[in-house]
Structure 1
Amino acid sequence: MNHQTFSLQPFPSTKSLPNLKIAGNIARNSNQLAICYMLEGNFKEIALAKPTGGIAPLSNTPSRKHELWKDTCFEFFVSIKDSLRYWEFNLSPAGYWNVYRFDAYRQGMQEETAFTILPFSVQNQADGLALTLDIDLGKIVSAQAIEVGITTVIKYRNSEVTYWALTHPSAEADFHLRDSFIIEL
């Protein structure tokens, strides 16, 4: 099993940021991938999307939805080492999810139909929020080495947005850059 911890950094900005910390861990055992995000700090100003109709989804039945990155969204990117193809996984604290497949950098974006459910859980805690996912990557990769980029979009109640990642290798926030897929599993 390969297990690593991570800590996300906000994209450099001249604006002052609330006292937030986004950290977690990721592990791979064969094709099973487990990821856990921990959001800690002053997050009362963070806008958390509400489920459609105001009804909270059951934690074991999240549903698929597009454009989750327009709101607070936990994301990770998976690529096969030495391949142009990669996948973007989006997880909303409101219980929505999606997976997209790309043929190359921002090219050929398609919803990944190999996944019909993405069971993850969100737990509100006194000092933060935890989001965890266990997934079988065997539907998209075999035993190849993978490279992972871990990111988060934080949208505030005043509509400002911050972008968090393991690293920011460009002058603009861009989660799709392969230089930011720095965890190898």
Structure 2
Amino acid sequence: MKKLDFALIPFDSKTAPTIEITGTISRQDHQLNIEYLFTGDLATIIIPPPAKTAPTRQYDLWEHTCLEFFLGLEDTTAYWEFNLSPAGNWNVFHLKDYRQDLAEEMVITSLPFTVLQSTDSMQLNLELDLNPIISATQNLEVGITSVVENQDQQLSYWGLQHPASEPDFHQRDTWMIRL
């Protein structure tokens, strides 16, 4: 099993809330595990409360605090975008190329993740069976990101790196993790 630590950085550190986003990601065969950990002054951000009904597939989760990751197959242009709301709602999209032919990935019917929250931390853990979309032998390029909404309802964009003049999580050169 390959397990890696990560730390996300804000696109604009001057306007970002005073938090840290770190975590771990690991893969063993068809099983992908990812853990996000938010620490710091969480009172400065808006964390959606747990859904009152069963979590569902939803659009536009990134318009509020949302944890995201991208999985691309090595040597191909196709990739998947995963969106996870701390409220429990989620979505998965498949794209054939950079921002091309976005479609919900219907073979994934749920995302089994948990959220633990206290006054000074929030942890999201996901255990994902990749079998429906990726074989155990395929190498992955991974981007880990987050959109964070502050109390003024302004969004900040967090990623492993930000080489462009605007935040763009779909840029493959920001996907620094190989599994």
Secondary structure at the aligned position of 1:63 is classed as coil
**Counterparts of 1:29 and 1:7, CA distance in 2:** 21
Secondary structure at the aligned position of 1:117 is classed as coil
Q: Which residue of 2 aligns with 1:20?
A: 19
Give 2:11's aligned amino acid: F
Whether 1:33 aligns to 2:44 is no
User: Equivalent residues in 2 for 1:1-185 (5 A)?
Assistant: 1-15=1-15, 17-50=16-49, 55=52, 57=53, 62-142=55-135, 143-185=137-179
Contact 1:62 1:120 in 2 (8 A): no
**Counterparts of 1:171 and 1:66, CA distance in 2:** 26
Q: TM-score, normalised by structure 1?
A: 0.92
Give 1:173's aligned amino acid: P
Identical positions, percent:
44
Q: TM-score, normalised by structure 2?
A: 0.95
Aligned Cα root-mean-square deviation (Å): 1.3
**Counterparts of 1:169 and 1:66, CA distance in 2:** 27
**Counterparts of 2:163 and 2:130, CA distance in 1:** 27
Gaps of 5+ in 2: none
Which 4+ residue blocks in structure 1 deviate beyond 4 angstroms?
A: none
Secondary structure at the aligned position of 2:27 is classed as strand
**Counterparts of 1:32 and 1:109, CA distance in 2:** 24
Contact 2:50 2:86 in 1 (8 A): no
Shift of 1:40: 0.3
Contact 1:62 1:119 in 2 (8 A): no
